[in-house]
Copies of this chain bind each other. A is one copy, B any other.
């Protein structure tokens, strides 16, 4: 590995290393002609600064870490994009890690980020705020919870009001006249999953006269939803729910697909379905999916902004920004009135 150092540049340009460094970082303190000479030496040697050395000296890196729950989920991909954009604006880059809902991987990534002395970490935590996370914060590394309300935890957070989203989804089903509601979830240790459930329960209680059940899927993917759809077919028809609120779009899409393709039930006639996220595929599903939209990109940019503000002034109180989700009604929940 051929490696040029600032020293080589200095020698070639006939200046001291300090000057080269100044050209790189505080170009106002150096005369125009020396700067030019140094720059041409840099080009000639193909010098690229070693960020490890800089980092060692200044004490922290110029990256942010983001531990995301699931990188295959378009919702998080979009959050990541937002974070990236905001970070780039501040000259930072984002180191991405996918915990894939596995808490030991979550911990591994936090360790990694800590070793790298990242400028701050964004995390969509799997469950509770772990001791791991607390330690990172005590160390002085700013952290913002993403897609998770951190009120009371002492952490700043950027989230969407999942209880309200769950309420809106269930309420909509009830308003459509459905009375045997089911909530389809998985991995109930994930806060969002239980918050949406909580909202749904609240709506049921408010309206009254409806039954409610919780169905567990194995995971939160399309294929898990498909499995649930298939197994539903094996239950006695009269025990079926007449509406299912799924904790994300992927599950809902899989569910709808299984119901339709196996001819188990008509959607929405027999069973109405509502998803959550409004990802790119919700509107393109077998039957366009009624769902709850979240401002995903905004979540990412806001999280980074908060992180940077806190890094600039460490005495700031934690902020918990909560966005409101928006119900998007499409065809999986609307029986067309007027049609036969």
Contacts and interface: CB of A to CB of B under 8 A. Distances in A.
A111 B91 CA distance: 13
- Chain A: interface residue count, which band? 35 or more
A103 interface: no
A260 to B, nearest CB: 10
Contacts of A95: 95-96
A1 B221 CA distance: 40
Contacts of A318: none
A60 B280 contact: no
Interface string A195-225: 0000000000000000000000000011100
Interface string A106-131: 00010110111100000000000000
Interface string A214-255: 000000011100100000000000000000000000100110
A114 B48 contact: yes
A71 B60 contact: no
Contacts of A281: 222, 253, 281, 284-285
Number of copies: 2
B1 A51 contact: no
A221 B284 CA distance: 12
A74 interface: yes
Contacts of A2: 138-140
A81 B72 contact: yes
Nearest to A4: B139
Among A52, A74, A84, the one with the most B-chain Cβ atoms within 10 Å of its Cβ is A52
Contact of A78 (B60, B72, B226): B72
Contact of A1 (B49, B56, B140): B140
A69 B72 CA distance: 15
Interface in A50-106: 50-53, 55-56, 59-61, 71-72, 74, 77-78, 80-81, 84, 93, 95-98, 100
Nearest to A46: B135
Contacts of A74: 72, 74
A97 B83 CA distance: 12
Interface of A: 1-3, 46, 48-53, 55-56, 59-61, 71-72, 74, 77-78, 80-81, 84, 93, 95-98, 100, 109, 111-112, 114-117, 135, 138-141, 221-223, 226, 250, 253-254, 256-257, 261, 280-281, 283-288
20 contacts: A46-B138, A46-B139, A50-B115, A51-B115, A51-B116, A53-B56, A71-B80, A72-B81, A74-B74, A77-B77, A84-B98, A93-B97, A95-B95, A222-B280, A222-B281, A222-B283, A284-B285, A284-B286, A285-B286, A286-B286
